[in-house]
Structure 1
Amino acid sequence: MIWKISMHEINMVFLGLSSIYCGVSAVLKLNNGVVDVVEWEMMSLNSSYIVFTLVLDWVSLLFLCFVCLISSSVLYYSGSYMIEDKTFNRFMYIVLAFVVSMSMMVLSPNLISILLGWDGLGLVSYALVIYYQNEKSANAGMLTVLSNRVGDVAILLSIGLMSSLGGWNFLVYSNYMNDEWLGLKFFLVLAAMTKSAQIPFSAWLPAAMAAPTPVSALVHSSTLVTAGVYLMIRFSPALMSSGVQSGLLIISCLTMFMAGLGANFEYDLKKIIALSTLSQLGMMLSILALGYPDLAFFHLLSHALFKALLFMCAGVVIHSVSGYQDIRCMGSLVEFMPLSVSFMTIANLALCGFPFLAGFYSKDMILEVAFMSWVNFIAFFLYILATGLTVMYTMRLIFFSLSGSFNLGSLNNISDEDSIMTNSMVVLGLGAIFGGGMLSWLMFPEPYMICMSDFMKSLVLVISFIGGAIGYIFNKVNISYSLKGLVNYEFVVMAGSMWFMPFLSSSKNSELSFVSGEVLQKVGDKGWHEYFGGQGAYYLISSMFSILNELQMNSVKVFMKVFVISMIFILFIYT
């Protein structure tokens, strides 16, 4: 008997077993308080040692457990979604390379060895964004890779600044960084902002939705974009006594508000989910800036479960409606795809913080701790607005695609018959339902003490209810809502285009690059660089060689000239 096992099934089994092993190891290390460190000294540079380090503590192993769990589900899901692709095996290898890069980044506490995983994430992300090889994908991939290169340069500068400490292990040295290391902290925060797509680097995350949907479920929802948050969690002791915290708080709250506002004016299904990811990343970094890295890590894990599930449900919907991504071309899908719509509703409700789903435990705790903290009024107001906008665009998405009027063609074959896709969503669906409670019991055996008034305690519930009602009612009366959008056209365009950030990041940036490049070419390459560079050196060396050539010819005229000049010089000195 010959067993024929496809590649996606092998990868699913391997990554699933790896996830179970990492999860059990994380629980054991958390209970025992054990940390395993593996070091390999590669070379020494003066008094500094370049060491390849792996740290196996409960934080890294638990995050790696979730990375392997989501990767196994996504790769099994890709076995049906990408099966018609001629280069399916290449896609699998690229995704596996991403998992390896993410593992390298998660397990490494050393800035030099973390650079391998950090750059690997950027390279693999670029290869996946341009996977469909058209002009739109090429533009999105270029915007993605150039935005992330800013963070790569910041990591390199951080390595250079950290060399004066005698090592690059940030788990050790981050406890000793005072306010004198403000430059190093700034570069690390800049690297985290680029990888997590905070303002002003937010344009690349919605543009990266040009990648295949399984890639979006894995890379641009739960793993790659959280690499910056994970780096900040590891460096959190250094950020506690720093002026960087207030700046990071305002930027992350603005990103949270901007993404929530933009999602309410977006019609692309994948971009709506990408903007919701951007909003949740802002929430993670904001609570991290307030000094609660454990809550940021808690929300990072719970968000990974329901956001990957939401992307996979969106992929099933797009696959069933013949590739349409505009939510206005969908509608009434609950009658044709009950199982997928159920999972999608669970993921949406977890995103809104519906009680006892995965997002409720982390998101509600983050908001209550933020309301208790010494936070300024602007950040507090942005928290409230972002919470209401999250429920608002979720209800809008549910109305347009799941429960609204049927807007599809009569020849669309819409059903839940694809067993591979639906089975791969079951694991993440169970995680979106039970994952938050299990993580809460595991990470917080002693509960947080929340002390606030009745008004502040009920504020989140009231804002969520108001946002959901506005989102559903405004889209229910769709005609008047669209006309109001035409009346306030400038505001709609500004809010729907992420405050013109894609425009400023691509076309205006390229125009500025062309103008500055032309000036640099005239002044630099064809000007002073040429005069003092290649041509200047050429003329100098040519004149020196002509003098040496005349001297080597043993000419009487040359020696007479030298003799006369020497005599005049001697007479001038003595007189």
Structure 2
Amino acid sequence: MSNLLLLLILLPVASALVCYFVRSSAVRKLTVLGTAVVLTLASVGLLMQGTFEPIAVGSFLGISSDFLITVLDFALLGVIFYLGLKHKSLLIQGFTLAQAALLVWFEIVMLEHDAVPALVGDQLALIMVLVISIIGSLICVFAIPYMKEHEEHLHLKKSRQPRFFFYLVLFLGAMNGLVLSNNILWMYFFFEVTTLCSFMLIGHDVTEIATKNAVRALWMNALGGLAFVIGMMLVYMKAGTLDISAILAAGPQGALMITGVGFLCLAGFTKAAQVPFQSWLLGAMVAPTPVSALLHSSTMVKAGVFVVLRFAPAYVDTFLSTGVAICGAFTFVTCAALAIGQSNGKKILAYSTISNLGLIICCAGINTPLALTAAVMLIVFHAVSKSLLFLCVGTIEQAIGSRDIEDMRGLYAKLPRTALITVIGILTMLLPPFGVLMCKWMAIEAGADTNIFVITMLALGSALTVVYWARWGGSLMCSREQDTRTESQPMLTSLPLMLLCGGAIVLSLASPWIYNSMLAPWLGTAPFTLSFGSLNSATGSFAVVPLFVVLGLGVLFAAKAAAGFRRVKIMPPYLGGANSSTDGTYIGPMNGDVPFAAGNMYLGELFAEGKLTPIFNALAIALIVLMLGGAI
């Protein structure tokens, strides 16, 4: 058990060092592939061994592991402060100095330095390790050929891949350490490591806009780090321990504890890019696509929702719980609305990610077994489908030179495999019987027992979500062109895409058994029963396997009906009697030929990002202040 845990945390660190110091592309490729395989096997092995109680971690080279983490904490803050000086950011400098000062006070004056078991493995932690180690590894594998082509496009004289893969792989170890931590100080350290890694990866291309967005990400997450330290100190003042398992077992313990947990939730909000902190994640899309996939799907943003979920038992049935639910639901509906006005594929995915993270946080705030089921399962299904879609957009962008969904019309004629995988990825986010929609159904069921504001925002956000997914999917499927070319991709590009696509389908099909074997024991009170491949509750059921059977039959029928479509003559569109003699054009002003063109409506005036964002940010700040004020 201990060997597996150390492997999951320390192997990525060792592999990152190899990627950085051994400047051989062949060695780097083998290192990344080997790390991906070992992490995948280790995460599955840890799952097979089952949950485990908190365990201690011994010394390292004769140095206490807790002391080593403390030293690394201050070293990390020193690095972040230096970056604040380098980029002349007073916010980074101020937030970092405040963290360091509070940590000194905490370590020297407040903390009694009792031994605390460092690592724990409940069902939530094991599920998160699987998500990080498997999906994160596939993203790293995809990055091998992607970064080669990316640097060829930039015409770099000297490769930056050693540094890129150093932080990319290190990310995985930091995330595994965070989700397995039972000591709050350990969790804080790994929390800050992800902050540093995200800064370095967002600014990887060293352009002016990349640097600007990296600095913004750093100061916002430094604010989250400061909130984490304040929350940790307040929790310790009340509980007298850093042992997360003991804190959670005791449940809510008065205003001081609830306030401390409220600040921990605020730290989770910043890391998960909840409104009004969403701008750092939107800015992260300037980074190479594997960075976007890693930050938006399986790692950094999931660290934020994990913190809120991890401490949910400590604020159940409190005003803070209601406040968390309202803030999450607000992000869910507002970012779904902002996504409607976008045509940039990466930006749609970014807003969709923030929106879904808001839904997960809302479920953590609702804090019932049904809501927690929806939250954890949505983490899994969202990570698979969203990482798939980010990698698809990156592949498409390198092929056609654009990430605009309007430029993806007729994509099937040029990139049939990628287009089909992208459509499947979109459908897994949109339709039954796939897991994301099932989780939204669970969330709305859970929200029905809360206040009117939460359930209204969940219903409206779900409706808005349909608009931008259906529009994108429709654009991909509206091809009128014929092309006999076959798509050629490197194996390390196609393999992650195929595995993630298959995983999105298989995991949705297996969702009843995933719930029954992994979530029901963790929840204690099971909101669902399993029968005939369906999840049944007192208020309804989701017939997973029967719906998949219907879907399979529908796909077979559609394939048979469309078998001869390539032999059908494509006719020009009917243009209301104004067709000209040239196919695909109509008679326009001054009797001139005007080419026919199709395009989506983006309702720019109604869903104007520039106008709505300041309003949403102001409202979100007010909600967070009310949430923390109510807790105090």
TM range, smaller chain: 0.7 to 0.9
Q: Contact conserved, 1:295 with 1:362, CA < 8 A, in 2?
A: yes
Change (3 A) 1:317 1:267: same
2:440 to 352, 358, 363: 363
1:450 to 519, 529, 537: 537
CA distance in 2, matches of 1:480, 1:185: 44
1:156 CA displacement: 0.8
| 2:46 maps to amino acid | S
Q: Does 1:230 align with 2:306?
A: yes
Q: Give the drift of 1:174.
A: 2.6
SS at match of 1:140: helix
The residue type equivalent to 1:254 in the other structure is F
State whether structure 2 residue 121 is matched by structure 1 residue 100. Answer: no
* Residues 535-554 of structure 1 aligned to structure 2 (within 5 Å): none
> Does residue 423 of structure 1 match 2:495?
yes
Query: In the alignment, which residue of structure 2 is the partner of 1:205?
Result: 281
1:281 and 2:354 aligned: no
User: Which amino acid counterpart does residue 357 of structure 2 have in structure 1?
Assistant: L
Give 2:474's aligned residue. Answer: 399
CA 1:416–1:286: 2 relative to 1, 3 Å = farther
Tell me which of 400, 418, 423 is aligned to 1:340.
Answer: 418
Q: CA 1:35–1:361 in structure 2 vs 1: closer, same or farther (change >3 Å)?
A: farther
Q: 1:325 aligns with which of 403, 408, 414?
A: 403
Alpha-carbon contact 1:263-1:276 (below 8 Å) kept: yes
**Structure 1 residue 214: Cα displacement:** 0.6
Q: Distance in 2 between matches of 1:39 and 1:437?
A: 38
Is the contact made by 1:49 and 1:166 (CA closer than 8 Å) also made in structure 2?
A: no
Matched, 1:170 2:244: yes
1:352 to 422, 427, 430: 430
State the 1:226 CA deviation.
1.0
Please say if residues 423 and 476 of structure 2, whose CA atoms lie closer than 8 Å, have aligned partners that are also in contact: no
- Aligned-partner Cα distance in 2 for 1:95–1:393: 30
- Pair 1:493 & 2:580 matched: no
Distance 1:343 1:287, change over 3 A: same
Distance 2:600 2:387 in 1: 34
Structure-2 separation of matches of 1:402 and 1:8: 35
Distance 2:199 2:459 in 1: 35
| Alignment match, 1:246 | 322
In structure 2, the residue matched to 1:160 is: 233
Q: Find the counterpart in structure 2 of residue 441 from structure 1.
A: 513
Counterpart in 2 of 1:64? 129
1:306 to 385, 393, 406: 385
Does the CA-based 8 Å contact 2:417-2:487 persist in structure 1? Answer: no
Q: Alpha-carbon deviation of 1:377?
A: 1.9
Identify the residue that residue 17 of structure 1 maps to in structure 2: 38
Q: Which amino acid aligns with 2:390?
A: F
Task: Give the Cα–Cα distance (whole angstroms) in 1 for the partners of residues 183 and 38 of structure 2.
Answer: 27
C-alpha distance in 2 between matches for 1:71 and 1:444: 25
Query: Are 2:186 and 1:113 equivalent residues in the alignment?
Result: yes
Maintained 8 Å contact 2:339/2:348: yes
Does residue 133 (structure 1) correspond to residue 206 (structure 2)? The answer is yes
Q: Which sits farther off after the overlay, 358-367 or 112-121?
A: 358-367
SS in structure 2 of the partner of residue 109 of structure 1 = coil
Following the alignment from structure 2 to structure 1, what is the Cα–Cα distance between the partners of residues 267 and 193? Answer: 15
Matched, 1:78 2:138: no
Measured against aligned partners, the alpha-carbon deviations of 1:379-433 in whole angstroms (never above 9, x if no partner) come to 2121111111111101111234553678xxx9xx994433321122121111100
Opposite residue 299 of structure 2, the aligned amino acid is: T
> Once the 2 structures are TM-superposed, how far is the Cα of residue 58 of structure 1 from its aligned partner?
3.5
Paired position in structure 2 for 1:29: 50
CA distance in 2, matches of 1:403, 1:134: 36
Unaligned runs of 5+ in 1: 455-475, 506-575
| 1:523 counterpart residue number | none
Superposition RMSD on alpha carbons, in Å? 3.0
- Which one of the candidate residues 154, 160, 163 is aligned to 1:90? 163
Q: How far, CA to CA, are the matches of 1:431 and 1:21 in structure 2?
A: 18
Would you say 1:266 and 2:342 are equivalent positions? yes
Q: Distance in 1 between matches of 2:456 and 2:387?
A: 29
Please list the CA deviations of residues 42-82 of structure 1 after superposition, one character each: whole Å capped at 9, or x if unmatched. Answer: 46966442647122334323311221111221122111110
CA distance in 2, matches of 1:496, 1:300: 31
Mapped partners of 1:241, 1:102: distance in 2: 29
Quick one: which amino acid aligns to residue 36 of structure 2? Answer: L
For 2:201, the aligned partner's letter is L
Task: Evaluate the alpha carbon distance shift between residue 215 and residue 502 of structure 1 in structure 2; reply closer, same or farther with a 3 A threshold.
Answer: farther
Structure 2: distance between partners of 1:437 and 1:480: 32
> Aligned in 2, Cα 1:249/1:480: closer, same or farther, shift over 3 Å?
closer
Partners of 1:351 and 1:405 lie apart in 2 by 25
8 Å contact kept, 2:271–2:303: yes
Question: What is the alpha-carbon distance in structure 2 between the residues aligned to residue 495 and residue 230 of structure 1?
Answer: 30
Q: In the aligned structure 2, how far is the partner of 1:480 from the partner of 1:160?
A: 51
Q: Measured at CA, do residues 186 and 423 of structure 1 come closer, stay the same or move farther in structure 2, by a change above 3 Å? A: same
SS at match of 1:83: helix
1:376 to 436, 451, 473: 451
Cα pair 1:13 1:72 within 8 Å, conserved: no
Cα 1:426–1:396 change in 2 (3 A) is same
What's the counterpart of residue 459 of structure 1? none
Q: Distance in 2 between matches of 1:201 and 1:405?
A: 42
Measure, in 2, the Cα distance between the counterparts of 1:120 and 1:188: 17
Larger mean Cα displacement after TM superposition, 361-370 or 424-433: 361-370
Cα distance in 2, alignment partners of residues 53 and 272 from structure 1? 39
Counterpart contact for 1:257–1:382, Cα < 8 Å: yes
Structure 2 CA distance for aligned equivalents of residues 453 and 23 of structure 1: 33
**Counterpart residue type for residue 284 of structure 2:** A
TM-fit CA distance, 1:224: 0.5
The code of the aligned residue for 1:126 comes to: F
How far 1:7 sits from its partner (Å)?
2.2
Equivalent residue of 2:425, what SS?
helix
| CA displacement at 1:270 relative to structure 2 | 0.5
For residues 502-524 of structure 1, give each alpha carbon's deviation from its aligned partner in whole angstroms, at most 9, with x where no partner exists. 8999xxxxxxxxxxxxxxxxxxx
For 2:248, give the aligned amino acid: S
Larger radius of gyration: 1
CA distance in 1 between counterparts of 2:406 and 2:486 reads 16
Query: Secondary structure of the residue that 1:35 maps to in structure 2?
Result: strand
Counterpart of 1:304 in structure 2: which amino acid? A
Q: Deviations over 1:145-191 (max 9, x none)?
A: 11111110011112222332322112211333323223212201111
CA distance in 2, matches of 1:266, 1:404: 21
Deviations 1:353-391 (A, max 9, x none): 431x332443333333333xx222222121111111111
Tell me the amino acid that sits aligned with residue 424 of structure 1.
P
The DSSP-based 3-state class of the residue aligned with 1:403 is: coil
Distance 1:405 1:204 in 2: 39
Q: Which residue number in structure 2 is paired with residue 293 of structure 1?
A: 372
Q: 1:221 to 1:405 in 2, by over 3 A?
A: farther
SS in 1 for 2:608: helix
The one-letter amino acid of 2:55's match is: V
Whichever residue aligns with residue 147 of structure 2, its letter is M
Partner SS for 1:55: strand
How far did 1:127 drift? 0.4
The one-letter amino acid paired with 2:359 is: M
Secondary structure in 2 matching 1:82: helix
Change (3 A) 1:503 1:339: farther
Q: Which amino acid is 1:127 matched to?
A: M
The sequence identity of aligned pairs, in percent, is 23
Moved more, 147-156 or 294-303: 294-303
Q: Cα gap change, 1:88/1:494 in structure 2, threshold over 3 Å: closer, same or farther?
A: closer
Name the SS of the counterpart of 2:114 in structure 1.
Answer: strand
Q: Residues 99 and 147 of structure 1: is their aligned pair in 2 closer, same or farther, counting only changes over 3 Å?
A: same
